[in-house]
Amino acid sequence: MKSEKLTKVILFLSSLTILLVASGMIYSLAGGSVLAFKTFGIKFIYTSVWNPTEGSENYGALAFIAGTIITSVFALLVCLPLALSTALFIGEYYRDKPVSRIVGTMVDLLAGIPSIVYGLWGFYVLRPLIVDLGLSPQGYGIFTSGIVLAIMIIPYATSISTEIIKMVPNDLKEAAYSLGATRLEVITNVLIPNARSGIFASFILAFGRALGETMAVTMLIGNANVVPESLFATGNTMASVIANQFGEADGLKLSSLIAIGLLLFIITALINAAGKFIIKRFS
Amino acid sequence: MDKPIVDIKDPVLRIENLHVSYDGIKNSVTDVSASVKKHAITAIMGPSGCGKSTLLRAINRMHDLYPQIKTTGKIFLNGDDISSISNIVLRRKIGMVFQRPNPFPTMSIYDNVIAGYKLNGFSLKKHERDEIVEKSLTDVSLWNEVKDALNKKGTFLSGGQQQRLCIARALAFQPDVILLDEPTSALDPIATAKIEDLLLELKDKYSIVLVTHNMAQAARISNFSMFMYLGELVEYGRTKDMFTKPVDKRTEEYLTGKFG
Amino acid sequence: MTDIIKTGNIRAAKNKAFAWIVAILSFITIFPIVLIISKLIINGYKQINLAFFTQVGPDTMEAMTAVSGGHVIPGGILNGIAGTLLMVLLASVMAIPLGVIIGVYLYENTTKRYAAVVRDVSDVMQGVPSIVLGLISYLWVVKHVTHGYSALAGASALGIMMLPLIIRSTEETLKMIPVSIKEAGFALGVPYHKIILRVLIPTGFSGLSTGILLAISRVIGETAPLMLTALGSRMVNLNIEQPTSAVPLLIWEFYNDPNMVDLIWSSSLFLMGFVLTLNIISKRIAAKSKK
């Protein structure tokens, strides 16, 4: 009896550690950003200066917040038709066929490629292509990094969508077929409406992934600390400015980078919580 | 023909030498030939796995959805070979009701009834739609129960009401034939009785083919009965005749509860 | 009637067109993986030799001389391999036992309000960008424990990343075990901790190892958090309090040095091969246990 109680106590105490780590993270990020917020106030969030010159140091996160959201939204828009088609391919058109297993494995492989390898591929293969097409003189920018991001998040958007599409009961589809619907009509009127919250949630989670991606974006976005003016302009994201500027940072600059980390943490946590909430309510 | 199979004049459906195989090796339906009477209820009985649902689903070519299923033989709807009619048109002329009530959960009761029109891309005027919905729901005696809740989701209804909604959905197109695949197996006795009464009313306007594992149900409401066993159509005749003096020994054994 | 049949034809055509679009877009989706893998193999294979695994990275001068002379770049990525293995091992030591125990706790307390909070927190942790975890490990370990960049700091960042992955995979695995197996243990009067150690964990072993291998494969290619914590090193370093290299960190260094381009591809090929091997092994284990 005594040992049973002890076991339960050990299990409970272990579970506390993850809560401690999580709350410690918030505490440390908040603590580290105090200096930045004290110096710049709430203005830190909506100004876009980034001036590390000693004596006139001035930092604002707007350029990075804007860059993060623009690249991620663009990546999501590119990813959407691709991931949805692939989910339909695996989960509906070629369900349980060998070809869908091959496609599924290939999509899984995409998730296994490290971010830095995506960055290299984008730098050496995609970027020259974009220069050749005359889309941008150097090939860096929102567009390039957005395309690579889109490829990176495809497996996250696809895998959950596929599962949800497979879960739509067969007799609903058959009911629609028995009324004379074509497969396309079954997909648009029965399959997608029944799977929509799950599909929506999977894209939210994929969006959360895109927001936090660092290496591939750093290597492709051009690292310009300004609010991007067009799809082909250079910019910077919250994750990549931390990676880029961290090495030489201390004092106010370090605090500003930590503050950006805190903002990124909050945004991704909210996005992920929303995605999980939708999935939970759905299932 | 040595099998006890009734001859029907001017049938709505004529099935000729139908074979259906799920794996290309074993037949689930073997060489079935039969004609189905217009404006009557024809029941297909038999123990589970005898091929009765498989036979039913061949009539509206549901098997086309699954490329691995091989179907041979011919089926005629009002004299036309169904393989010469497109699936879209065929399924509009043959309605189907499934074992489990399956209203579309994302659609309202109203939208469920006119789902066939919507899915087939018909653009109807509002008063036309309203008419179809009211008529179809009245036909299945559901109108009075749901007329104030037409915009609610169909899944809020009770099981029996849901199944009547599904029948209304199949009726909305005014099909020639309605196929029902064990429509009451998921329902309680009271809901079952209501569906049976409904089918008796509907047979004046529609030709009904009903798969059932419930002999008593076949006896209560059908005019003709088929008995299938191991994929074969063993006996087909007037229900009264079959239940009182079955010709085939297997039919007799099934009806007396020796197996099934 | 004719107009019904006509619309039928248009719909059939739309239906067919859509099927084609789905197939084409799916093909486009899998195309990049083919491009990336072939690029890595074509550009990377020539640097893969014995030295690649047994020597540390060359300096810029050596590399420049070799490239201009038309030779392969001398040296290898031993410092990266050693650092990656060291940090992944440390991260595993931190995350695996704790993650499995918390997973067991969640499995044992499915309905408790508190357990739901733990579950939600670990779900949210799973979505925290790795760069933020790098920042955290910098603030905690680099600043206060090792007082400088270190393998321990890198491993901590990777460990925090692995923890929620292992928690959830453990819980999911245990959920698949029939309750009757556990009850059989209780019926025999086996103490609680022995049921966990002798019944639950061995029964779910293949699922647990799949989850662990996948978690490792997820963190092994991480670069950004290590830039903030482990920093990198030219030498093989096994002292956990010292800056340490890792394969992805080396790739980053090679990328920033125009003389080392050839090494980028072979290192990436190696890293991806490693990740994919882990993935394949874990899938094999999962497939075997299903049989």
Taking only the tens place, the pLDDT of each residue in B177-207 is: 999 999 999 999 999 999 999 999 999 999 9
Q: pTM, whole model, 2 decimals?
A: 0.91
Residue A191 within any structural domain of the chain? yes
Residue A46 within any structural domain of the chain? no
* A193: nearest CB among B60, B95, B106: B106
Query: What pLDDT is stored for residue C1 in this prediction?
Result: 40
Interfacial C residues in 191-250 facing A (CB < 8 Å): 191-193, 196, 217, 220-224, 227-228, 248
Please tell me which residue, B98 or C261, carries the higher pLDDT value.
B98
Nearest CA-CA distance, residue C69 and chain A, Å: 23
Nearest CA in chain B to C7: B121
The residue among A145, A162, A146 whose CA lies nearest residue A107 is: A162
Class of domain B13-255: alpha beta
- Distance CA(C222)–CA(C68), nearest Å, equals 32
User: Which residues in chain B are closer than 8 Å to A178, comparing Cβ atoms?
Assistant: 60, 62, 91, 94-96, 98, 170, 179
Residue A32 within any structural domain of the chain? no
CA B27 to chain CA centroid, nearest Å: 22
Decide the pairing of beta strands B224-229 and B232-238. antiparallel
C251 contacts A183? CB cut-off 8 A:
no
Residue A27 within any structural domain of the chain? no
B95 contacts A179? CB cut-off 8 A:
yes
Compute the C-alpha angle A189/A192/A194, nearest 5°: 90
Supply A11's token pair.
Answer: 């299990």
User: Which residues in chain A are closer than 8 Å to B104, comparing Cβ atoms?
Assistant: 172, 175-176, 189-190, 193-194
Q: How many CB atoms lie within 10 A of CB C257?
A: 16
pLDDT, tens only, A3-48: 888 999 999 999 999 999 999 999 999 999 999 999 999 999 999 9
Where is A185: in which H helix or E strand?
A: helix A183-186
Residue A189 within any structural domain of the chain? yes
What is the ipTM, given to two decimal places? 0.94
User: Which residues in chain C are closer than 8 Å to B89, comparing Cβ atoms?
Assistant: 4-5, 8
Which chains contact B through at least 3 pairs of Cβ atoms less than 8 Å apart?
A, C
A3 contacts C193? CB cut-off 8 A:
yes
Give the range of the structural domain holding residue A246, as residue numbers without chain letter.
Answer: 68-282
Query: What pLDDT is stored for residue B127 in this prediction?
Result: 95
Average pLDDT over residues A243-265: 94
User: Which residues in chain C are closer than 8 Å to B120, comparing Cβ atoms?
Assistant: 7, 11
B169 contacts A180? CB cut-off 8 A:
no
Mutate to test the interface with A, among C22, C175, C196, C214 (most CBs of A within 10 A): C22
Residue A95 within any structural domain of the chain? yes
Compute the C-alpha angle B154/B157/B160, nearest 5°: 115
Residue C190's pLDDT band, with cuts at 50, 70 and 90, is: confident
Per the document, the length of chain C is 291
Residue A26 within any structural domain of the chain? no
Average pLDDT over residues C273-289: 88
Three-state SS for chain C is CHHHHHHHHHHHHHHHHHHHHHHHHHHHHHHHHHHHHHHHHHHHHHHCCHHHHHCCCCCHHHHHHHHHCCCCCCCCCHHHHHHHHHHHHHHHHHHHHHHHHHHHHHHHCCCCHHHHHHHHHHHHHHCCCHHHHHHHHHHHHHHHCCCCCCHHHHHHHHHHHHHHHHHHHHHHHHHHCCHHHHHHHHHCCCCHHHHHHHHHHHHCHHHHHHHHHHHHHHHHCCCHHHHCCCCCCCCCCCCCCCCCCCHHHHHHHHHCCHHHHHHHHHHHHHHHHHHHHHHHHHHHHHHHHHC
User: Which residues in chain A are closer than 8 Å to B99, comparing Cβ atoms?
Assistant: 171
Residue A57 within any structural domain of the chain? no
- Distance CA(C47)–CA(C266), nearest Å, equals 6
Which chains contact C through at least 3 pairs of Cβ atoms less than 8 Å apart?
A, B
Residue C290's pLDDT band, with cuts at 50, 70 and 90, is: low
CATH classification at residue A242: 1.10.3720.10
CA C127 to chain CA centroid, nearest Å: 14
Nearest CA-CA distance, residue A53 and chain C, Å: 22
A180 contacts B92? CB cut-off 8 A:
yes
Domain count, chain A: 1
A239 contacts C221? CB cut-off 8 A:
no
Average pLDDT, whole number, for chain B? 93
| Those residues with Cβ within 8 angstroms of residue A180's Cβ, 6 or more apart along the chain or in another chain | B87, B88, B89, B90, B91, B92, B116, B119, B120, B173
Answer for the pair B226, B43: CB distance below 8 angstroms, yes or no.
yes
pLDDT, tens only, C54-106: 999 888 888 888 888 888 888 899 999 999 999 999 999 999 999 999 999 99
260 residues of chain B, pLDDT tens digit each: 456 778 888 899 999 999 999 988 899 999 999 999 999 999 999 998 899 999 999 999 999 999 899 999 999 999 999 999 988 889 989 999 999 999 999 999 999 999 999 888 888 899 999 999 999 999 999 999 999 999 999 989 999 999 999 999 999 989 999 999 999 999 999 999 999 999 999 999 999 999 998 999 999 999 999 999 999 999 999 999 999 999 999 999 999 988 76
| Axis-axis angle for helices A251-282, C113-126 (nearest 10) | 120
Q: pLDDT at residue C116 above 60?
A: yes
Domain boundaries, chain B: 13-255
C8 contacts B86? CB cut-off 8 A:
yes
Partners of B180 in beta bridges: B97, B210
Query: What pLDDT is stored for residue A232 in this prediction?
Result: 94
* A272: nearest CB among C23, C124, C131: C124
